[in-house]
Structure 1
Amino acid sequence: MKFKLAIFDLDGTLMDTSSGIFATANKAVELVGRKPEHDISQLRKFIGPPIIECFINTYNLEEELIADAIEHYRKEYDIRGQFGAKEYPCMKSTLGKLKEKGYQLAVGTLKPESLALSMMDHFGFAPYFSSIRGSDLNSKLSKADIVNKVLADLGVDATDAVLIGDTVHDEEGARVANVSFIAVDYGFGFPRGQQKTNSMIGVVSSPEELLSLL
Structure 2
Amino acid sequence: MKNYKLIIFDWDGTLMDSIDRIVSSLQAAALSVNIEPPSDKAAKSIIGISLDDAMIELFPTASPVIWQKAKLAYKEQYISLNETPTQLFEHSRHLLKVLKTHNKVLAVATGKARDGLERVWQDTKTKHFFSSSRCAVECQSKPHPNMLLELLEELNIHADDAVMIGDTVHDLAMAKNAGVDSIGVTYGVHSHDELSQFKPKAIVDSLIALENLLVN
TM surpasses 0.5: yes
Give the length in aligned residue pairs: 211
The alignment yields a C-alpha RMSD, in angstroms, of 2.5
2:115 is aligned to 114
In structure 1, list runs of 5 or more residues that go unmatched.
none
1:211 is aligned to 211
Quick one: distance in 1 between partners of 2:153 and 2:83?
28
- Taking structure 1 as reference, are residues 95 and 170 closer, same or farther at Cα in structure 2, changes over 3 Å only? same
**What displacement does 1:149 show?**
2.5
**What displacement does 1:123 show?**
1.4
Quick one: distance in 2 between partners of 1:84 and 1:59?
26
- 1:16-40 Cα offsets, whole Å, 9 max, x none, are 1122212221222122212334x43
2:185 is aligned to 184
1:171 is aligned to 172
2:199 is aligned to 199
Residues 45, 58 of structure 1: 8 Å contact kept: no
Quick one: distance in 2 between partners of 1:195 and 1:27?
28
In structure 2, list runs of 5 or more residues that go unmatched.
none
Quick one: distance in 1 between partners of 2:159 and 2:28?
39
TM-score, normalising length: structure 1: 0.86
Aligned to 1:84, the other structure's residue is in SS state coil
**What displacement does 1:194 show?**
6.5
1:49 is aligned to 49
Aligned-pair identity in percent equals 27
2:146 is aligned to 145
Runs of 4+ in 1 over 4 A off after TM superposition: 80-83, 192-198
Quick one: distance in 2 between partners of 1:80 and 1:47?
19
Quick one: distance in 1 between partners of 2:114 and 2:179?
22
**What displacement does 1:197 show?**
5.2
Counterpart code for 2:203 = V
TM-score, normalising length: structure 2: 0.85
Residues 55, 61 of structure 1: 8 Å contact kept: no
**What displacement does 1:56 show?**
4.2
